[in-house]
Amino acid sequence: MKTNWKSFILQEAKQPYFQKMWSFLKDEYKSKNIFPPRNKIFACFQYFDFEATKVVIVGQDPYYTKGYANGLAFAVNHNCAIPKSLINIFKEIKNEYGEVVADQTLIDWAKQGVLLLNRTLTVEENKPNSHKTIGWNIFTNNLIKFINENTKNIVFVLWGNNAKQLKSLIDQNKHKIITCAHPSPLSANYGFLGSNCFRKVNIYLHDKKIIW
């Protein structure tokens, strides 16, 4: 199998779990408000080639408020109020670097090789975690394995317990794992704010640093 995003997705699309999930999603998009828009489900892969991957940041599932989700974990579209988790992310960056360069879409990060990956890639309006059990966890677990096996020196940023479940899938002899609390207001003051996680990423990347 070729090592690129498209080949990975096409390979997964042949699997029974994915076909069942995709059939379910087709019906969901017809009858309910599902986010992000269907053409943005795989948006996190659209801004850089597989070989350019530097960092993987793992979120939970898309925002469930209409108009917010853009397919990138933690990011929101323009003209949306910035969610509290993203406010805390920007607060930590400002603490570390004195300024925040990216806007709330986080597209600037994606263009630099940051994969903003949710564990679950879709959600029903006003129902957080509503698609948690339809098959996305299989997809994202397989994706982490694919990245782990076919790259080296990637920084995996795992915030919170949900993301930390992926730790066992990553070879720490090949890659760097950075963990801390989730930026959610419920946990940000208990290990996220003050973690220096963005500086830690750039220390590992050396001359390939991300402009946060």
CATH code (residue 113): 3.40.470.10
**Range(s) of the domain holding residue 23:** 5-205
d(CA 27, CA 44): 23
Residue 148 belongs to a domain:
yes
pLDDT average, residue stretch 111-123: 98
The answer to whether 61 is a known catalytic residue is: yes
Catalytic-labelled residue, pool 27, 61, 103, 108: 61
Residue 177 belongs to a domain:
yes
* DSSP output for 131-198: TTTTTHHHHHHHHHHHHHHH-SSPEEEEEHHHHHTTGGGS-TTTSEEEEE--SSTTTGGGTTTT--HH
Residues 127-159 pLDDT 10s: 999 999 999 999 999 999 999 999 999 999 999
Note the pTM of the prediction, 2 decimals. Answer: 0.96
Residue 96 belongs to a domain:
yes
Residue 9 belongs to a domain:
yes
Report the domain count for the chain: 1
Q: Which residues contact 190 (CB under 8 A, 6 or more apart)?
A: 181
Residue 210 belongs to a domain:
no
